[in-house]
Amino acid sequence: MVSVRTVQTAPFDGQKPGTSGLRKRVKVFQTPHYTENFIQSIFAAVPKPRTLVVGGDGRYLMTDVIQKIIRIGAANGVTHFIVGRNGILSTPAASCVIRKRAADGGIILTASHNPGGPQNDFGIKYNMSNGGPAPESVTDGIYKASLELKEYKEAEVSPVDLAALGIQKFDGFAVEIIDSVTDYVELTKEIFDFELIRKFRQQTPEFTLLFDGLNGVTGPYARRILVDELGFPESSLEQCTPLEDFGGGHPDPNLTYAHKLVERVAGEKISFGAASDGDGDRNMVLSHDWFVTPSDSVALIAHHAECIPYFKNKGVHGLARSMPTSCAIDRVAAAKGLQCYEVPTGWKFFGNLMDANKLSICGEESFGTGSDHIREKDGIWAIVAWLNIIAHQSQQKAKLVDVKHLMLDFFKTYGRNYFTRYDYEDVDSAGASKMMEQLRALKKQALESSDFGGFKVSHVDDFEYTDPIDASVTSKQGVRVIFADSSRIIFRLSGTGSQGATVRIYIERYDDKDVELDAQVALRPLVLAALEISKLEQFTGRKVPTVIT
Ligand code: VG1
Ligand code: CO
């Protein structure tokens, strides 16, 4: 057995995983013992893993932390580490590898769409043997362990060569370095009709594609799938080299941070533009004449699911969305006679439903879309799903059915759920908490007697979720103000930031007649109502949002 040393330490405050793992400034993770403490707390709280998948989005500090995980993991009973080459595994690829290789769990190193580099963010997340993020019962256990920790154990081994594919044997454990992309590409090929997409691309030269990896982890995955497998030209890829600091950018696929893509798609009249975030689980889809909201995207995929071989073969068992996500997908579920679940924000809440075979397709308004093929949201999956649908529809109609026409057709069937989200980043935490307290105290009667541009309030609550499978209850998930015409305003605080607080306001309105309005115009009266109800400016001092999506 390899020799193990025990290191004395003291607990740190605040090692509480948020919506998706522990996210802090790199500098915090560099505090002596900070990272080791958290890793040891994971091993103290989760069912003892013997086979553990390790990888991340390539951001600054990642390879150092992988070496620490190997040392501490080996000292805590892990006998087989499966690590992406050079540490690289996108979040969906890590989920895929855990499932495919029947690992006991995985540690994913990412702060997702948060900027990277020495001055920015790092993150650590634990996934269970189903490939999905640890549920709250487990993350609460990790936090509790972190508060009581007095020592950690580490195996005394020299650093592992993360670049050499194959198995490296140590005394009592082994480290297997795998290609970062292969397992994931194989799974993707089983899900979609690659042959159909290839044929469509060959026969439709006017269909142009541009994918922007935002210098996150998805570049190599996109190249293998879009270029090598589907035959799109190399020039369809932009910013597809993973960089430690994402080139200094914000690897978040939305209209604000993916502006290079947005400008090129508009300027060059590109038919299909797409982007993914730092760790590859988010996606954005647009064309030169249409921006697809994530809420509409998942609804459209659900509507057309049967043209995707995976769903054609397995069937669609149910749909779901996070609470703030627009209700477009509910309409698809109703039309297809499927159950539609509403869960709190965060992908971890979909896992139980998927494991119980009650959920096939789901999404979040925050550019997260996915299915039960894995237990994470999956950026590339969503993009290929769109290509599969476009190829299929175009074949059916014997002409190019583009993004805009797909969406307009969808609205003709279901009407349109206009949606927008306003984010106020890095606001004073005390002010943000006071604002939420005030919102929690709101009463329907009081709101009804005020006038919000003619909107009548029908329901106010702080969202609480009871998991239909294990009956666990998650409360205080966001204040909802629902109006008589089904419009909604939702207020919640982010659980992924590393500094201050981020206030999110989600606004939605349904219209079955005017479906081609500008969303900001269509939602303006509700935005004003939201600002009035929340007294946001009074509590936070902010006049304008940092990001509108
Ligand atoms: C945000 C999104 C949420 C998403 C989470 C993780 O959380 O709103 O929908 O699941 O990020 O996504 P919050 O608590 O900041 O609103 V990712 O791509 O960071 O793993
Ligand atoms: Co992400």
Secondary structure (DSSP) of 390-428: HHHHHHHHTS---HHHHHHHHHHHH-EEEEEEEEEEEE-
pLDDT band (50, 70, 90) for residue 18: confident
Above 80 in pLDDT, residue 448? no
Above 80 in pLDDT, residue 472? yes
- 281 CA to centre of ligand 2 in angstroms: 5
DSSP state of 65: H
Q: Domains in the chain and their CATH numbers?
A: 4-180 (3.40.120.10), 184-414 (3.40.120.10), 416-548 (3.30.310.50)
- Model pLDDT, residue 539: 87
Proximal ligand: closest to the CA of 19:
1
Torsional sign, CA 416, 281, 118, 503:
positive
pLDDT band (50, 70, 90) for residue 188: very high
pLDDT band (50, 70, 90) for residue 38: very high
- The span from the CA of 97 to the CA of 188, in Å, is 13
The token duo for 247 is 């080139």
Across 112-202, where does the E strand assignment appear?
121-127, 151-155, 166-170, 173-178
Residue owning the nearest CA to atom 2 of ligand 1: 366
pLDDT band (50, 70, 90) for residue 447: confident
The region of weakest confidence among 240-254, 270-284, 380-394, 535-549 is 535-549
Nearest-atom index, ligand 1, CA of 281:
18
Above 80 in pLDDT, residue 445? no
pLDDT band (50, 70, 90) for residue 442: confident
From the list 368, 57, 82, 374, the residue with the least C-alpha distance to 220 is 57
SS3 track for 435-469: HHHHHHCCCHHHHHHCCECCECEEEEEECCEECCC
Percent of the chain with pLDDT over 90: 87
- Model pLDDT, residue 1: 74
Residue owning the nearest CA to atom 3 of ligand 1: 346
What DSSP element (H or E) covers 482?
Answer: strand 479-483
- 126 CA to centre of ligand 2 in angstroms: 14
- The span from the CA of 325 to the CA of 333, in Å, is 14
pLDDT band (50, 70, 90) for residue 13: very high
* Mean pLDDT along residues 332-343: 98
- Model pLDDT, residue 484: 85
- Burial (CB < 10 A; 0-12, 13-18, 19+), residue 530, is buried
At position 330, the amino acid (one-letter code) is D
Residue owning the nearest CA to atom 6 of ligand 1: 20
* Mean pLDDT along residues 403-409: 97
The region of weakest confidence among 59-63, 190-194, 451-455, 491-495 is 451-455
Proximal ligand: closest to the CA of 495:
1
- 136 CA to centre of ligand 1 in angstroms: 15
Above 80 in pLDDT, residue 514? yes
Residue ranges around ligand 1 (CB below 6 Å): 19-20, 112-113, 277, 281-282, 322, 345-347, 364, 366, 368, 494-496, 504
Residue owning the nearest CA to atom 4 of ligand 1: 346
> What residues are labeled active site?
112
CA angle, residues 274, 279, 284, in degrees to nearest 5: 20
Please indicate whether residue 454 or residue 214 has the higher confidence score (pLDDT): 214
- 167 CA to centre of ligand 2 in angstroms: 29
Percent of the chain with pLDDT over 70: 99
- 242 CA to centre of ligand 1 in angstroms: 21
Dmax (CA) for the chain in angstroms is: 73
- 79 CA to centre of ligand 1 in angstroms: 32
- 367 CA to centre of ligand 2 in angstroms: 9
- The span from the CA of 151 to the CA of 242, in Å, is 35
pLDDT band (50, 70, 90) for residue 500: confident
Above 80 in pLDDT, residue 239? yes
At position 283, the amino acid (one-letter code) is N
Tell me the average pLDDT of the chain. Answer: 95
- The span from the CA of 278 to the CA of 251, in Å, is 5
Above 90 in pLDDT, residue 459? no
Above 80 in pLDDT, residue 450? no
The token duo for 316 is 């669609």
* Mean pLDDT along residues 138-146: 96
pLDDT band (50, 70, 90) for residue 108: very high
Contact between 465 and 348 (Cβ < 8 Å)? no
Q: Strands of 80-88's sheet, edge to edge?
A: 22-25, 121-127, 105-109, 51-56, 80-88, 173-178, 166-170
For residue 157, the SS3 value is coil
- The span from the CA of 221 to the CA of 319, in Å, is 27
- Model pLDDT, residue 542: 87
Proximal ligand: closest to the CA of 114:
1
DSSP state of 306: G
Q: How many CB atoms lie within 10 A of CB 356?
A: 13
- Model pLDDT, residue 533: 87
- Model pLDDT, residue 466: 96
* Cα-based distances in Å from 76 to 44, 104, 173, 308: 9, 14, 11, 43
Above 90 in pLDDT, residue 145? yes
CA angle, residues 166, 171, 176, in degrees to nearest 5: 20
Nearest-atom index, ligand 1, CA of 345:
9
Nearest-atom index, ligand 1, CA of 496:
15
- Model pLDDT, residue 441: 85
* Mean pLDDT along residues 416-441: 93
Residue owning the nearest CA to atom 8 of ligand 1: 366
pLDDT band (50, 70, 90) for residue 456: confident
The region of weakest confidence among 245-249, 333-337, 444-448 is 444-448
- Model pLDDT, residue 2: 85
* Mean pLDDT along residues 116-127: 96
Proximal ligand: closest to the CA of 216:
2
Mutation test residue for ligand 1: of 276, 496, 502, the one with most atoms within 8 Å of CB: 496
Nearest-atom index, ligand 1, CA of 114:
19
Contact between 106 and 52 (Cβ < 8 Å)? yes
Please list all protein residues whose beta carbon sits less than 5 angstroms from ligand 2, which is an ion: 112, 277, 279, 281-282
Above 80 in pLDDT, residue 452? no
Nearest-atom index, ligand 1, CA of 492:
16
